[in-house]
Amino acid sequence: MIAVSQLRDYPFFAGLSEAELARLAPFVSKRAFARNAYLFYPGNPAQSIYLVESGLVRIFFCDARGKEFILNLVGPHSVVGLPMLQADQTRLAGAAAQQSSVVLVLSWEDVSSFVKRSPQFMNNILKEMDATIRNLFLYGRTLATTSLNGRLATMLLYLSGSGINQVIRDELDLPLSQAELASWLCASRGRLNRALGFLQQLGLIRTDGQKILILDRLGLERIAEE
């Protein structure tokens, strides 16, 4: 059984009383996923939501041939797989463990039941949905309006920032291959390598295999904004 104290760490449960957390905790289970194991796949029924306890989870969609394209990477305390408030919904995107991950699992049936008794929890769900929609909009805007150099700078700032790691760090061990990073940025590997070289020439980063050292964070932010 999940302890109430564990639930307090998640923004998804913010504002819930001790009594509300105690009622919810028995319905929360914990699962471990090996690297590249699927939490769910596009087209699966939306039956559960997942809260990342540790590790890293990639959100992706597939083309008609089944090739995966990364939409996002999320770390601890993130909510994964929150469906809209409709019955009989299937997943439009999939989720898989980019690194070995441990997640908390809560069935959508239990969520729906608990929401009826907790306006605060309903508000938390709406906030999470709003954040998801906003992030997708920002990702789409970045792809449509920003050069590859700007998109790469944006992703490096995201991967090294508090959104995934909970702390900002300048030494980044890329959690995905160059092919995966290229697909995330909607670019070929050749164009990605040229963009990495460009940022190195400007003295903004230094690369060593999968490791990237950010030398000038403000400079990266300027490239991302341009």
Q: Tens digit of pLDDT for each residue in 22-63?
A: 999 999 999 999 999 999 999 898 889 999 999 999 999 988
Give the N- to C-terminal CA distance of the chain in Å, as an integer.
49
Return the percentage of the chain with pLDDT > 70, whole number: 95
CA dist 187 and 84 (Å) reads 31
Q: If you compute the radius of gyration of the chain from its CA atoms, what whole number of angstroms results?
A: 19
pLDDT at 202 over 90: yes
**Contact by Cβ (8 Å): 177, 170:** no
CA dist 8 and 15 (Å) reads 9
pLDDT band at residue 162 using 50, 70 and 90 as cut-offs: low
Name the residue among 50, 48, 51, 52 with its Cα closest to residue 107: 48
Find the mean pLDDT for residues 173-200: 91
pLDDT at 148: 95
Structural domains in the chain, sorted by start:
4-143 (2.60.120.10), 146-225 (1.10.10.10)
Return the percentage of the chain with pLDDT > 90, whole number: 59
**Contact by Cβ (8 Å): 119, 192:** no
pLDDT at 87 over 60: no
Sign of CA dihedral 85, 123, 133, 45: negative
Of residues 54 and 166, which shows the higher confidence score?
54
pLDDT band at residue 84 using 50, 70 and 90 as cut-offs: low
pLDDT at 168: 73
**Contact by Cβ (8 Å): 134, 140:** no
pLDDT at 138: 86
Q: What is the pTM of this model?
A: 0.86
pLDDT at 226 over 60: yes
pLDDT at 175: 87
Choose the weakest-confidence range: 26-35, 97-106, 160-169: 160-169
Q: How far is CA 85 from CA 45, 100, 110, 115, 195, in A?
A: 13, 30, 13, 11, 41
Per-residue pLDDT of 171-182, as tens digits, reads: 888 888 888 999
Tokens 């819930």 label which residue?
Answer: 16
